[in-house]
Amino acid sequence: MEGDARGWTRRSTLALLPALGVAACARSVAAPAPLRLWAMSWEGDYSPLLMPAFTAATGIAVEVQSLPTTASHEKLLIATAGGALPDVFMLFNGWLTEFATIGAIAPVPDPSIVAGMFPGMLDATRVGGRDYAVPWSVAPQVNFYRRDLLAAVGYDAPPGDWPALRTMALKLKRRRPDDFVFLMLLNWPTALINILSQAGVRPLRDRDTRANFSTPEGQEAFAWYASIFADGLAPKALSTEVQDPVAAFAQGYFAIWPSGPVTLRDLAQRNVPKHLWSTARCAGPRGPGALSGESASLCVAATTGRPADAWALVRHLTSVESELHFQRAIGNLPANLHAWASPQLDQPVLAAFADQMRYPAPGPKVIEWEQIQLQVQFAAERVVRGVETIPQALAGLDTRVDRILAKRRALVEAGKLA
Amino acid sequence: MSARAAAQERTAWLFSAPVLAIILLVFVLPTALAMALSVTDYSIYALADWDNLRFVGLGNFVDLFTTPLFWRALGNTALFAVLGVPMAIGASLFTALLLDDVTVRWKPLWRVLLFAPYVTSIVATAVVWRFLFNERSGLINRLIGAVGIPPVDWLGDPHTSIPAILIFVTWKIFGYNMIVFTAALSAVPGDLMEAARLDGAGRWGRFRHVTLPAIGPTLLLAAVMSVAGFLQIFAEPYVMTLGGPAQSTTTILFFMFEEGFKWWNLGQASAVAFILFLMILALTLIQTRVGKRYEWL
């Protein structure tokens, strides 16, 4: 036993473990750490495809992390508070004001980085007169529709105004009573916000410090939305219930699906035959109008230690080649105008998008906009489920949104916020 | 106190010091900070600029009490607890009693199978259960359809969403208390049971007067833990329904999560946390008092 104590004992070996742990924390100094990029949706999954060209040209490795879209807002906020943001990350345009206000993102240092970008999208990335992000894609919603189902009731494409669309939808419903005409998920606000936008609702007033939903336009939009569900033209379903909308669309569970370019990739991946579907601009009360788009932009974190490398990566990701590569891979529509000269974008199913892109309607530039959109959706859901009437729901919505805006109102009135 | 006792006491403190330090650092300190946060209007504007932070006293609490969704969430949570605790404990006790019967064979196998849901990933099981609850193609609607009941839109109807989630939660967690009860049941004195049987006590009489007093303390523990657990229910509604439909499954903790981490109203969220803390504390005190009356503690 005496001899053992001087040699390897179980105790001394165990004591080495923490030492090993500490050693593992020490950073190796050989290679520079890769740049970090966070992106959501298909962009996150497919960004690694764009990296070999960048790494070959600059020698900088990039580590991509794909964030789930539904959890990305809180993840990015927490990363901001915790000082753990990556060098470059994707933001939906509606979140730019928020992240610029909390100082999470750096302003664009050189106007040439945003040269040639879609003007409507550039407006959306401007906060207080400065560019804070580089538009990556344009994503207005259009109506994806089943050509065969519409042809069966005598239509080539869904009509562009609400009364005619309704006539068509009722015909379709009579023909296929067990299925639906539209899919508008009751917890997914984009389609509803677009209806409000088409009806001419101006959601906020008084320098964006008060809600403005109890208006004739608000009534009209909510009445249209509610009538779709009341007539059984759309299922009263949440995103957690329609687990596979692509398959449901392919099976004819519904015929018209307001959705963004992301669906192009979904349909291609699931081999839904191309002759079965096409796209048309979303209908408005008196014909198609301006829509807000859930477009995505690229930002550089204010805290990055390598701004030059980070902006080089943004420049690469928004270049014509990368945009066209992404368009082929995931259906993303380029925000870079030069890319639209390519014959690759001359496809019939993209025509509706190209047309709609010329009429952007950006949402109010307030931090609370994301939260307000969800409140609009909750109010509409209460009407659809018969819990409240439209005037009650709109009045309640105004009250709740006024509460959400209370802090902003106080700051604006104190002159602390523009 | 002798020198030896003092030395022993020192050693005891030395051994508990690391744990006490950790409790202080990750429990007491954050709790105190959260309480401090609950009397401020810490929001995303404070994240932008500390000058925007204001002391609001009880303002957050007053605000909460006038927020309809807070009361809705409170009601939903109460419903989860009132229905869920008896459901979960009842299922655990029932299966434990079944497994305790001498005629049951392959007991370890049954225990493993019934315990398995507890240790599987909640997200994976929730996805499966969402398929089971599907209105059109779900297995549950097919089964009830076979006996002539019309299909139910389990997760889509605000009236059935809480029961549907409770069925899932009960299935998921009953295995844990079942194992605890199995252990407690093995301590039920066999000769007492035999004597009661000879004296003509029926099945219910034996359960009420022999089994129940023996497992009383365990039952109290299970009730305390279940109540605390159900008041903090979050993950199940989060993965099954995201708080919907029509906010019918928004619970206190879900409300707090959305306010705090999604919208960064951490002042308000801390106030919610404080209220929840007081609720759980009060209910636990009541339960201990009930336990003392029956001499289970």
Mean pLDDT of B69-92: 94
Same domain, A164 and A280: yes
- Write down the pLDDT at residue A319: 93
Same domain, A106 and A82: yes
- Write down the pLDDT at residue B52: 85
Q: Considering the domain boundaries, does residue A29 fall inside one?
A: no
Please, which residues 29-88 of chain B have a Cβ atom closer than 8 Å to chain A?
Answer: 41, 43-45, 47-48, 51-52, 67
- Write down the pLDDT at residue B140: 92
pLDDT in tens, A175-203: 999 999 999 999 889 999 999 999 999 99
Predicted confidence (pLDDT) at residue A221 exceeds the cutoff of 80: yes
Q: Considering the domain boundaries, does residue A15 fall inside one?
A: no
Mean pLDDT of A242-271: 91
> Would you state the structure tokens that stand for residue B202, as one six-digit string?
């029926």
What percent of chain B clears pLDDT 90, i.e. is strictly above it? 58
- For residue B170, what is the enclosing H or E element? helix B161-185
Range of the domain at A67: 35-139+293-356
- Write down the pLDDT at residue A2: 43
| Best CA proximity match to A47, nearest among A9, A99, A89 | A89
- Write down the pLDDT at residue A158: 95
Strand partners, A126: A131
Same domain, A240 and A383: yes
Predicted confidence (pLDDT) at residue A32 exceeds the cutoff of 90: no
For residue A289, give the DSSP letter: -
Same domain, A146 and A122: no
How confident is residue A6, by pLDDT bands cut at 50, 70 and 90? Answer: low
Q: Which residues contact B108 (CB under 8 A, 6 or more apart)?
A: none
- Write down the pLDDT at residue B192: 87
Total structural domains in chain A? Answer: 2
- Write down the pLDDT at residue A5: 46
pLDDT in tens, B254-265: 999 999 988 899
- Write down the pLDDT at residue A262: 87
Mean pLDDT of B24-39: 93
| Best CA proximity match to B117, nearest among B179, B196, B202, B34 | B179
pLDDT in tens, B163-219: 999 999 999 999 999 999 999 998 888 888 889 889 888 888 888 888 888 888 899
Q: For A370, which residue in chain B has the nearest alpha carbon?
A: B263
Residue type, B121: S
Most confident of A121-135, A138-152, A354-368, B137-151: A138-152
Q: Considering the domain boundaries, does residue A6 fall inside one?
A: no
- Write down the pLDDT at residue B247: 87
A interface with B, Cβ–Cβ < 8 A, is 70, 73-74, 77-78, 80-81, 98, 101-103, 186-187, 236-241, 243, 367-368, 371, 378, 381-382, 385, 387, 403, 407-408, 411, 416
Domain boundary among A356, A385, A403: A356
Q: Considering the domain boundaries, does residue A299 fall inside one?
A: yes
Q: What pTM, to 2 d.p., does this model score?
A: 0.83
Same domain, A258 and A400: yes
Predicted confidence (pLDDT) at residue A9 exceeds the cutoff of 80: no
- Write down the pLDDT at residue A19: 59
3-state secondary structure of B124: helix
Q: Which of A77, A238, A411 sits opposite B45 (nearest CB)?
A: A411
Predicted confidence (pLDDT) at residue A285 exceeds the cutoff of 90: yes
CA distances from A297 to A293, A336, A362 (A): 12, 11, 14
In the predicted model, what is the mean pLDDT of chain A?
Answer: 89
Q: What ranges in B66-121 are assigned the alpha helix state H?
A: 68-100, 107-119
Q: For A236, which residue in chain B has the nearest alpha carbon?
A: B156
Q: Considering the domain boundaries, does residue A40 fall inside one?
A: yes
Nearest-CA distance A352 → chain B (Å): 33
Same domain, A171 and A254: yes
> A335 and A121 in contact (C-beta within 8 Å)?
yes
- Cβ of B249 under 8 Å from any chain A Cβ? no
Predicted confidence (pLDDT) at residue A4 exceeds the cutoff of 50: no
CA distance B256 to B268: 8
- Write down the pLDDT at residue A363: 84
* Contact pairs from chain A to chain B, CB under 8 Å: 75
Query: Does B156 or B278 have the greater pLDDT score?
Result: B278
Q: Which residues contact A105 (CB under 8 A, 6 or more apart)?
A: A91, A96, A99, A132, A133, A299, A300, A301, A302
| Residues on chain A touching B246 (C-beta within 8 angstroms) | 378, 381-382, 385, 387
- Report the greatest alpha carbon distance in chain B: 80
- Cβ of B137 under 8 Å from any chain A Cβ? no
Interface contact flag, A411 B52, Cβ < 8 Å: yes
Give all strands of the β-sheet with A142-146 in edge-to-edge order.
Answer: A256-259, A142-146, A277-281
| Strand-pair category, A88-92 with A35-40 | parallel
- Cβ of B128 under 8 Å from any chain A Cβ? no
The structural domains of chain B, with segments of one domain joined by +, span 59-293
Mean pLDDT of B54-77: 92
> A231 and A174 in contact (C-beta within 8 Å)?
no
Same domain, A92 and A131: yes
Interface contact flag, A240 B244, Cβ < 8 Å: yes
Same domain, A225 and A264: yes
Residue type, A174: R
Interface contact flag, B156 A371, Cβ < 8 Å: no
Q: For A410, which residue in chain B has the nearest alpha carbon?
A: B52
Q: For the domain B59-293, what is the CATH code?
A: 1.10.3720.10
| Residue A182 dihedral angles phi and psi, to the nearest 5° | -115, 160
CA distance A387 to A209: 28
- Write down the pLDDT at residue B75: 94
Same domain, A116 and A237: no
Same domain, A40 and A147: no
| Residues on chain B touching A78 (C-beta within 8 angstroms) | 261
Same domain, A246 and A174: yes
What percent of chain B clears pLDDT 70, i.e. is strictly above it? 99
| Residue B64 dihedral angles phi and psi, to the nearest 5° | -60, -45
CATH number at A152 reads: 3.40.190.10
Neighbours of B150 (CB within 10 A): 7
How confident is residue A12, by pLDDT bands cut at 50, 70 and 90? Answer: low
Q: Considering the domain boundaries, does residue A14 fall inside one?
A: no
